[in-house]
Amino acid sequence: MEEKPLPPATGPTADAAAVKSTPEIPPAKPAEVEQAINRVFKGAATILTDRTPYFAVGDFNGDLSQDLAVAVRTTPGKILEINDELAPWILVDPVQTARRVPKGAYAESHAEMMKRKRVVINEGDLLLAVIHGFQSKGWRDSQATQTYVLKDAVGVKMEPQTPKQIVFAGNKDKLPRILGDVITLSINEQYGFLYYNGAKYGWYDPRSYKPEAPARIIHGGGAKAMR
């Protein structure tokens, strides 16, 4: 059964839907979206135009410049280009990274851990390309090339929302660190959102996410030590 969407904010943040984190600019046109994808990927990625919607705009990294998120897949014969470590995009697997290791699981070796950390795109993977904007023109600017490619992060009901629409007094301490707008959607029948934490994109699953435990302060010998 699909998880119900997160409840809307109440009280002082109820009108947050009217708040815009980026300057008002014209709505994105399909031709502009295609141009941006071609500018970054040089033909290595194909837009999934059969998705509704297949793109979203918002200030996803919180720098007040509008960004673009587009559902794509690797163009046939271009898998090496997508996985090229020198390519101008960063590969991230936010959904897999969000899954916690179950209790009792064996400890990973360093080699296994490094292999798991390195994201590899396979033929047929559904990808969400997030192009970060540059200054006032945002993702439309010719210099807007900083891009994250999110593996298996294409779902349904994709919609951008501002932090004020999802963060309020009752759940503030139960959410991850969020720098900009989020992308709400349902992946594998699980509702959640994609967010940027200042380093990379992550996936928030309201059923399984657990906040990190706060650092403990130990007093010893008159000095404070963090661990």
pLDDT tens, 170-180?
Answer: 677 789 899 99
Single out the residue of 6, 2, 1, 37 nearest to residue 206, CA to CA.
Answer: 6
Q: Is 164 within a domain?
A: yes
Q: Is 29 within a domain?
A: yes
- DSSP-based three-state secondary structure for 136: helix
Q: Is 208 within a domain?
A: yes
Query: What's the domain range around 105?
Result: 11-226
Tens-digit pLDDT string for the chain (227 aa):
444 555 444 433 333 333 444 556 789 999 999 999 999 999 999 999 999 999 999 999 999 999 999 999 999 999 999 999 999 999 999 988 766 544 444 444 444 444 446 899 999 999 999 999 999 999 999 999 999 999 999 999 999 999 989 887 667 778 989 999 999 999 988 899 999 999 999 999 988 777 665 545 555 454 444 44
Q: Is 130 within a domain?
A: yes
Q: Is 140 within a domain?
A: yes
Measured CA distances, 189 to 3, 113, 136, 155 (Å): 7, 28, 36, 8
- Exposure on the CB side of residue 26, measured as CA atoms within 13 A: 7
User: What is the bridge-based pairing of β-strands 147-151 and 89-92?
Assistant: parallel
Q: Is 106 within a domain?
A: yes
Q: How many domains does the chain have?
A: 1
Task: Note the pLDDT tens digit of each residue in 201-226.
Answer: 999 998 877 766 554 555 545 444 44
Q: Is 62 within a domain?
A: yes
Q: Is 4 within a domain?
A: no
Write the single-letter amino acid at 15.
D
